[in-house]
Structure 1
């Protein structure tokens, strides 16, 4: 009685090396944003470190950090946020781009103002995310008014 498996049964399929050429997805570029109207920057620094750590955890590439301070942090027109959007526009055509904030309040406390800021990010070709795993990526088409993604 032969107990050895026949070399002609199933060995070719089992022994062939199957190579998958699954390309690794290119990580998005991260544009970190915050604002602070207070003189003390200790909480701001903690939030920025949290954003850096969040991006690192996901393997995202941080492009830079933009912070509006003092009166600029309170108004709708924020110079550093505008600079972030200009930088994002130059990169978003080539790679996914995300404006990372600690939480939604870092864009604005007022819901309508926050939505306008998110719309500006979408119009620049990016999406917005928080360190609490919240994202508007799926809503970009609605916010941007430029079509579906």
Structure 2
């Protein structure tokens, strides 16, 4: 399955998506997410390349890239994020799935909104991680005393 679509306003950008199922079921499947409210995509492109490189460094398989643009990037309704969750959910039944963002601010600047986004990922069966080696799964593991990262 390829999640590559056009990069017009409110749709996902498609860069170097890997066909799902190509890697071992033990390899996490990564869903890259970002948002961009500006017309210039140069910083967005750098963040996305950073996410791709981070996933490659860990040996993770990338399912695709989802980006909310314009008003969708700053509002609470994020159609591409919702699409990411819908694609992630069925895969979470078979393997570990991760929503990868450059940093927590890429989900939302507001902590309450960001925590809600992370909760939605958890409800879809996944965890959220950043390219700065932060993970809500790691945090839960530390708090519970169980190492799972």
- Which TM-score tier does this pair reach, normalised by the shorter chain? 0.7 to 0.9
CA change 1:122–1:140 in 2 (3 A) is farther
User: Are 2:32 and 1:32 aligned?
Assistant: yes
CA change 1:74–1:48 in 2 (3 A) is same
User: Are 2:81 and 1:75 aligned?
Assistant: no
CA distance in 2 between partners of 1:134 and 1:50 (Å) = 14
CA distance in 2 between partners of 1:25 and 1:126 (Å) = 15
CA distance in 1 between partners of 2:87 and 2:99 (Å) = 11
Computing the radius of gyration from Cα coordinates, the structure with the larger value is: 1
Instruction: Give structure 1 regions of 4+ aligned residues with deviation exceeding 3 angstroms.
Output: 138-141
CA distance in 2 between partners of 1:104 and 1:77 (Å) = 17
State the Cα distance separating 1:25 from its structure 2 match: 7.9
Other-structure match for 2:52 = 52
CA distance in 2 between partners of 1:86 and 1:105 (Å) = 22
User: What is the TM-score of this pair, normalised by structure 1?
Assistant: 0.76
User: What is the TM-score of this pair, normalised by structure 2?
Assistant: 0.76
Flag structure 1 segments of 5+ consecutive residues without an equivalent: 1-23, 142-148
Other-structure match for 1:107 = 107
Flag structure 2 segments of 5+ consecutive residues without an equivalent: 1-23, 142-147
CA distance in 2 between partners of 1:135 and 1:25 (Å) = 21
SS, match of residue 115 in structure 2 = helix
CA distance in 2 between partners of 1:139 and 1:80 (Å) = 26
The number of equivalent residue pairs is: 119
User: Are 2:118 and 1:118 aligned?
Assistant: yes
CA distance in 2 between partners of 1:112 and 1:96 (Å) = 25
Other-structure match for 1:127 = 127
Contact 2:25 2:94 survives alignment (8 Å):
no
- RMSD after superposition: 1.7
